[in-house]
């Protein structure tokens, strides 16, 4: 065998050095393909989840103090409202009607076809189905600080929303009722800060 190698211009060392290099090339290709496959599978799984099921949001501002603070990291449930209607007390994420590229976080106060009245710094709701509804609003820290008197009757796809920190909130008192088409979902999980981690935070 040694003679045949010499006649062909090859020796044992050539075989020993070339074989590992070829093996390295195959290994690298396999590793690259595995990485591409993993990335594709991740996209296939993650994109639909973020688009239709859940999405992360970061709270900016103080409009929901003390329930949510600036910097809170939230996961928003985007699928529940496909099967169930939003309820009073839900904390929701929605596109700002005046600029849909922005997202707001507020609490639902009035439901479709109800009449919301703000008078003498008191919020009251009248439902055509249940009559007068008293709001406990235990989550409010500045409950007695409200703007001018307001009375609005909602249509069958409108909601009246307000921030828990009423003096610092731009909400339905300022720009009117919120159409359901703008609602992204409700707050499902708070991940940060770690000390306040929990499921359905702030829901009443």
User: Any idea which residues carry the catalytic annotation?
Assistant: 63, 106
- DSSP assignment, residue 134? -
Distance CA 140, CA 145 (A): 10
What are phi and psi for residue 165, nearest 5 degrees?
A: -95, 80
The number of helices, as runs of H, and strands, as runs of E, in the chain is 3, 12
158 - beta bridge partners? 179
Alpha helices in 50-130 (DSSP H): none
| Lookup: tokens for 1 | 């065998």
Beta strands in 66-181 (DSSP E): 73-77, 91-96, 99-110, 115-119, 122-127, 131-133, 150-153, 158-162, 178-179
């Amino acid at each position: 065998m040694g003679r045949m190698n010499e006649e062909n211009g090859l020796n044992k060392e050539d075989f020993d050095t070339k074989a590992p290099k070829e093996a390295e090339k195959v290994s690298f290709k396999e590793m690259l393909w595995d990485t591409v496959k993993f990335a594709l599978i991740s996209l296939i799984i993650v994109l639909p989840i973020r688009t239709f099921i859940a999405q992360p949001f970061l709270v900016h501002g103080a409009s929901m103090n003390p329930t949510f603070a600036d910097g809170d990291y939230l996961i928003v449930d985007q699928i529940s409202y496909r099967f169930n209607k939003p309820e009073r007390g839900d904390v929701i994420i929605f596109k700002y009607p005046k600029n849909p590229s922005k997202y707001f976080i507020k609490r639902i106060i009035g439901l479709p076809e109800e009449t919301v009245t703000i008078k003498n710094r008191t919020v009251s709701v009248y439902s055509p189905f249940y009559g007068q509804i008293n709001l406990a609003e235990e989550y409010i820290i500045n409950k007695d600080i409200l703007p001018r008197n307001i009375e609005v009757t909602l249509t069958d796809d409108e909601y009246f929303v307000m921030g828990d920190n009423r003096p610092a909130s731009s909400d339905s008192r300022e720009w009117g009722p919120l159409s359901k088409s703008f609602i992204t979902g409700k707050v499902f999980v708070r991940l940060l800060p770690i000390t306040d981690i929990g499921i359905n935070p702030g829901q009443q």
